Structure 1
Amino acid sequence: MPRFLSRSGPDGPEREPARGRAGLAESGWSSGDPATAPQPSVGEPATGSLPRVGRPPVPPGRARPAPPGHAARRPAGAPDDEPSQDTLADGLLTSHGGLRGGARAAEGAAYGPADGAEPGDDDAAHDDDAPYDDAEHDAPLTAVPGAPGTEVSGEPPRDTPKGPGRAGRDMGSAIGVALALGAVVITTLLVWRPAFLLVITLAVLVSVVELSRALQAGGHRPPLPPVVVGSVAMMALAWTRGPSGLVVGFLLTVFAVVLWRLGDGPVGYLRDASAAVLVALYVPLLAGFAVLLLVPDDGVARVLAFIVTVVCSDTGGFAAGVLFGKTPLAKSISPKKSWEGLAGSVAACVLVGVLLFTLTFHGPWWGGVLFGVAIALTATLGDLGESLIKRDLGIKDMGTMLPGHGGLMDRMDSLLPSAAVAWLVLSLVVPT
């Protein structure tokens, strides 16, 4: 244990309370044995008594017992109620959050996990899209005993305020926003179909901006103007020219991105151009298939069937996961998704798909089974794909536009790939 000589200065009543609160002793080791008291090194002036750093009072239930077989070291002649050198060092470590985390990691490596704990249990307490935050586990910074001008109160640290829920979501706001979005979609579909086309275009533009900003936070610089203009062109060409117009619009957007990025030089050219192509493919190209669903005379029914089935996939997967979920589906990407939840999504989508195909489209029942299975799988893959992107970028949500949901892109993740699959299955099984 390092030795420090106390500062020379006037001793008075005004210094006594501070020394008592900081755990400073006025004399050497309390054993009273001069032979065991620390001596100053050669050349150091003996200007006063050696201070001793004590440990602040530990709240009940917070003391960490010594590991089995680990004998505490204490100075010779020290009484039993005096803290040992290991205890003093542990007190200094636990007084700072970072050192505390390192001590905890070293302890876990030496003695293994606690009884009943499994490796990776910390992931269960976090949201599936939330990056691990060690600040939730480390105590806040406290005063180091003996530091000039600091006092140790001995009171336990106050608990950090928790979020509105385990997932950090305001469920009331989330439900309200979901109902409002559903009302906008249904109203525009039933009143005037071109109004729904306008809603899709606005949603695509907002999602393109959110995804581009998220990629910029990760070090990419996708050129935004050509992607925005190309998105509008893809929506218009899909409405007027069908599938071929959508493909042509996407190719023109990629060509515009490649040319636009030349103006910023060769540094990072491939990285930025690839990111912009990803945005154009992920958002406007896939959303264009929802426009293709709207084009036929029964386009309103096709769009509603697609949206309702995706909603049933999310609802069935959530219910089955909460009730029966035990086997992780993709723990490294989304820890709370389970195979049981996927089975619930498939069951709900198949049930709704059969009803829609037989009652609305007057098609074969097996077409509803195929439609339901395809939508459940693509909706789940779309959700996992966006979660993978967000974990790679180290972000929680794509944006903050929708209270309780995050960004609009966070609500489009399962809809975008499902739109392409829905258009393909409906075109093959119940063509117009």
Structure 2
Amino acid sequence: MVLCAAVFLDSMDLSLMGVALPAIGRDLSLPESVLQWLMSGYAVAYGGFLLLGGRIADLFGRRRVFLLSLAVFAVASLAGGLLSAGWPLVVTRVIKGLAAALTAPAALSLITTTFAEGPRRNRALGVYSLAGATGYTAGLIASGLLTEISWRLVFFLPVPVAAVVLLVSPLVLPSGSSRERGGFDGAGAVTVTGGVLLLVFALTERAWPAGVVAVLLLAAFVLIERRRPAPLVPLEVFRSGTVGPANLAALAWACATIGWQFVAVLYLQRVLGHTPLTTGLGIVPMGLAIVVSANLAGRLIARWGLGRVASAGMLVQGAGILLFLRAGADGDYLTVLLPALVVHGIGNGLSFPSLNIAAVAGLPDERQGLASGLVTSSVQIGAGIGVAVLAAVMTLGDTPLAGYRIAFLTAGGFSVLGALIAAYGLRRRRPAPLPTA
């Protein structure tokens, strides 16, 4: 519960700003360029430092990194609620993104090193995934409610939760050393962090020259890792069991679900005329569906395997997205929107835990922080890709409604792609034959 509360905060902070931005802009007289960075500053720092955060957790102790980064997250949240200038607010958001990039892999690797691989770990990761998936939805709901009172409450909201977690953590988290012996790959850290930062920035701002530089940096990172005796990301980790396919499927999962949520919120407000508050409340059934299906995911995985549950979940998630095609300019909530939201939530709750379990399966404890950072980074980069692609295809329609339909179709396509990757890459493999004595 302690670790899941932290990842809930990280995910919730991704969506908390969305509804509050107009109120912040009016109150502080901020231009649109500054407001946009209140969103993208967090995402760029979060997505860019995740791999480095996972490695830092392995090297310097997961418990220590978790507590320090969560404390920084709480202080930055408090500072953001007290400030009244644009760019200092952006700086607090960037600091929070950096802190989240350290907290998330440390929390996930603490879970995977506490519970042995098998049903108990699967159940624990199911709860963890549930916290992350519902955090984003809860952020939309809380943002609508709190902004009606004051936008500063959106910044203050994470502070008491983080404070409780910091008080309880020393009592319940294992205090034993979890450090890995070995050097630190500075060149690899610089190239991969810079590459991912620029990639997320390019997708967020559509700055394609930055995207070219990002590709060059990531190519340099691969060359460096092949030659380093103690690399930041040993490339052979992608050939370990289901790590590689799980990360690809997680990227497609985020392209579909985070991209779709971005478009769906715009559709509900701009086309159907919902207020931010009614939009947030309307998403509640999807969050409940995620809770129920994520609680069932562990049992289904034990019976049917990771590949089947993950691929089925992504197909169901895609079906929920495509059901939004039934909605027109005056889509009825009970008969059209509600079924789509519930179906999407069921698929979401089944697929996300499966992908998190597959991404860390079969790896030793000293690589759990790295694997946790990899899958979380895949989700964040996928979110950036999904939002950028769907925002672009929305402009292809002859009418605004046609643009939304194209975006829904594209998001459904991402889900189908992820289902194919999961079905093929996460299928149950036969154990290798034992060598002759």
Whether TM exceeds 0.5 here: the answer is no
Calculate the TM-score normalised by the size of structure 2: 0.36
Which entry has the higher C-alpha Rg, 1 or 2?
1
Q: Which has the higher contact order (CA 8 A, sep 6+)?
A: 2
Structure with the higher fraction of residues in helix conformation:
2
